[in-house]
Amino acid sequence: MNKLMALQSNLFILMSGLALALGYGVEINSHLYILYITLVFIVLLGVPHGSLDVLFASQTYSLGNITHWIKFIAYYVLAALAVILIWLAVPNFFFIAFLILSALHFSDDLNLIDSKVLKFSYGTSIITFPSLFFSTKLIHLYAIITNVEIATSIVKVSQFISVPVGLLIVAQLLKKKISLRTKIESLCVCALFLLLNPILSFGVYFCVMHSARHLIRSRFFLQKFSRQAFLNALIFPTIAVVLAGLLIWWVGSTKTLEVEVIRIIFIGLAALTLPHAWVLQKSNFYTWSITSNARASQ
């Protein structure tokens, strides 16, 4: 494992431990500053990993002139808008589909080649484990996006799924071929989503594991781009997304601030996840990251 990946892994393990020690039992709805800080970090540290899609597209599709760039950006924005429109038209169905897509997307965090069961179980645990001890809070969160009845049904299904998922993770982690670091990372993720408030656990995971790991992998995958190009791709699209979110909130806010912010952030993440996953798939990034990082972690 290269030094940056090892540093990111160590930082995630450390931050997970600190979050569990300091955040266990804390009711963040009673401490709104914790909620807002977490959501700010999700935006500022989480969104930039998707901003690199412009470099992935440039490398994959050889976008050499302004016409090609306009076409790519138009397709990307239209895909995101299509997600939002489908969400508005059939919110219940699409919310379920989004949770499944998220589990598959998150499963690529682990540096593994031949353990698809652990990868899928790991991704699924991120979605289902909060339902075991935070079912009421999870229903409240989901109801912000969909309705209470569907939110309740999803949480009940998640509770049912989480037990066999947990058993699969334990069985996989007992195998000797799984590296110690991967075992510790997996246990940290499980502990976060089992023991911390869902928003807090997602904030720690999304910023320090998923996004940070993607940024490091991307820097090695996109080696032909200069450091300045890499930084520009991180900064400017992120600013555009933040400004768009602020505009939507300013124009259409009718609910309490925390509800509206949560709605905008998570619907925004859902809208961007589909084109983001599409770009990464077309660039063969998933295949590259699994094989190269798995070898490096041995």
Say how far apart CA 219 and CA 214 lie, in whole Å: 9
Using DSSP, state whether 132 is helix, strand or coil.
helix
The number of folded domains in the chain is 1
Q: Which of 237, 257, 112, 256 is nearest to 186 (CA)?
A: 112
Which pLDDT score is estimated for 227? 82
pLDDT, one tens digit per residue, over 144-163 is 888 899 999 999 999 999 99
Say how far apart CA 35 and CA 143 lie, in whole Å: 18
Q: How confident is the model at residue 66 (pLDDT cuts 50, 70, 90)?
A: confident
SS (H, E, C) 209-261: HHHHHHHHHHHHHCCCCCHHHHHHHHHHHHHHHHHHHHHHHHHHCCCCHHHHH
The mean per-residue pLDDT over the stretch 199-203 comes to 90
Q: How confident is the model at residue 70 (pLDDT cuts 50, 70, 90)?
A: confident
Q: Which residue has the higher pLDDT, 285 or 159?
A: 159
Say how far apart CA 70 and CA 35 lie, in whole Å: 37
Question: What burial class does residue 60 get, using C-beta atoms within 10 Å of its C-beta: 0-12 exposed, 13-18 middle, 19+ buried?
Answer: middle
Most confident of 5-9, 56-60, 176-180, 273-277: 5-9
The mean per-residue pLDDT over the stretch 15-20 comes to 95
Q: Check if the beta carbon of residue 53 is closer than 8 Å to that of residue 234.
A: no
Which pLDDT score is estimated for 55? 87
Which pLDDT score is estimated for 31? 60
Angle in degrees, 0-180, between the axes of helices 116-128 and 91-106, rounded to the nearest 10 = 130
Q: Check if the beta carbon of residue 146 is closer than 8 Å to that of residue 155.
A: no
Specify the range with the lowest mean pLDDT, choosing from 36-50, 55-69, 146-160. Answer: 36-50
Which pLDDT score is estimated for 292? 67
Which pLDDT score is estimated for 47? 74
Say how far apart CA 218 and CA 285 lie, in whole Å: 8
Q: Check if the beta carbon of residue 183 is closer than 8 Å to that of residue 203.
A: no
Of the chain, the percentage scoring pLDDT greater than 70 comes to: 87
Most confident of 167-176, 252-261, 266-275: 167-176
Q: Which residue has the higher pLDDT, 162 or 37?
A: 162
pLDDT, one tens digit per residue, over 88-136 is 888 888 888 889 988 988 988 887 656 788 889 999 999 999 999 999 9
Say how far apart CA 80 and CA 78 lie, in whole Å: 5
Q: Which residue's structure tokens are 């510790």?
A: 184
Which pLDDT score is estimated for 194? 96
Q: How confident is the model at residue 288 (pLDDT cuts 50, 70, 90)?
A: confident
Say how far apart CA 133 and CA 190 lie, in whole Å: 12
Q: How confident is the model at residue 253 (pLDDT cuts 50, 70, 90)?
A: low
The mean per-residue pLDDT over the stretch 242-269 comes to 68
- Structure pTM? 0.84
Of the chain, the percentage scoring pLDDT greater than 90 comes to: 28
Q: Which two tokens stand for residue 69?
A: 């760039």
- Classify each residue of 8-31 as buried b or exposed e, where b means 16 or more C-beta atoms within 10 Å of its C-beta: bbeebbebbeebbeebeeeebeee
For residue 257, pLDDT beyond 70: no
Q: Which residue's structure tokens are 């998570």?
A: 266
Which pLDDT score is estimated for 61? 82
Mean pLDDT of the chain: 83
Contacts of 274 (CB under 8 A, 6+ apart): 79, 80, 83, 101
Q: How confident is the model at residue 286 (pLDDT cuts 50, 70, 90)?
A: confident
- Structural domain for 226, as ranges: 3-297
